[in-house]
Structure 1
């Protein structure tokens, strides 16, 4: 899964200033360890529970999006990784995937997405899977966890802007709602319903 600094997209969208405004979400349970039936050895957990891996995440960002995070680029990989690890319940929130205990991917839910759609929130972003593990369902598992997380935090919908993750989003049942030009590239804007929080009956 590669989604660039807008979804760095659950495939790569062209980079833009990530703008990490913290948005308070309704109180609720934080994400928990989740195993995925299609990838039984995969576990997705909050990055906040693994803040010591922020240097690894930052290096992923620099490797995947050198124009944004590389020397001379406007992004700060260390600051962005730290922002994704700062909380379970306030945006931005990062989730990290492990396969047999080895970190293999990351995605994040953030308040801001494309400047053309400032009224929409939250956005799936920072989607990354290590190159050797791509094509194995890890990106899809991360994306599903973001949708579940959005529902846990009380959001009714999730959005994503991407140029390269269109097929993944379509397979996952997301609906395309718009197309915009961003940094000279056509980006598709997708939306899906967040997974509602299940409450126990009295």
Structure 2
């Protein structure tokens, strides 16, 4: 059975998360390697605060993650905070895990009094729109087109 837990409850998953995140997004920032990402995730071992990460697990198996961070896009430092690092292991995709992880971050943001939450995506705009996110703008990030989206709690 899928459980969505704070990273603080499963710090043993940090190394795997860092490897997944580097594999997925390392080309955007190659200097932010697995060791650097692991160190960064150590700061997410808190609850009811930013930054934080939630993980999806079934028993001892790690399935995915999503984070709530202050900043995720250097192009738009004025936008804060951000939903970031939404990742589901390829063999577990299309099971609704990503949706549950995103919804958990949205609930956490709302409980923290966040009035607007941002994300950027390369090609999942429809997925996020189905969860109530709206397009803010298009941009180019490190040579790749992206869509910046926002969500307003309570709307």
Same fold (TM over 0.5): yes
Q: Which residue of 1 aligns with 2:25?
A: 65
Find the partner of 2:63 among 77, 97, 104: 104
Q: Which residue of 2 aligns with 1:114?
A: 73
8 Å Cα contact 2:28-2:142 kept in structure 1: no
- When the two chains are superposed, the root-mean-square deviation of aligned CA atoms in Å is 1.9
Q: Which residue of 2 aligns with 1:42?
A: 2
Aligned equivalents of 2:145, 2:78: Cα separation in 1: 20
Q: Which residue of 2 aligns with 1:152?
A: 111
> Which of the two has greater helix per residue?
2
Shift of 1:193: 1.8
Q: Which residue of 2 aligns with 1:141?
A: 100
Shift of 1:100: 4.3
Q: What's the TM-score, normalizing by structure 2?
A: 0.88
Find the partner of 1:77 among 14, 30, 37: 37
8 Å Cα contact 2:50-2:69 kept in structure 1: yes
Shift of 1:90: 2.6
Specify the SS of the correspondent of 1:65: helix
Q: Which runs of 5+ in 2 are unaligned?
A: none
Specify the SS of the correspondent of 1:176: strand
Q: Which runs of 5+ in 1 are unaligned?
A: 1-40, 197-202
Shift of 1:80: 2.4
Q: What's the TM-score, normalizing by structure 1?
A: 0.69
Larger-Rg structure = 1
Q: Which residue of 1 aligns with 2:129?
A: 170
Q: Which residue of 1 aligns with 2:47?
A: 88
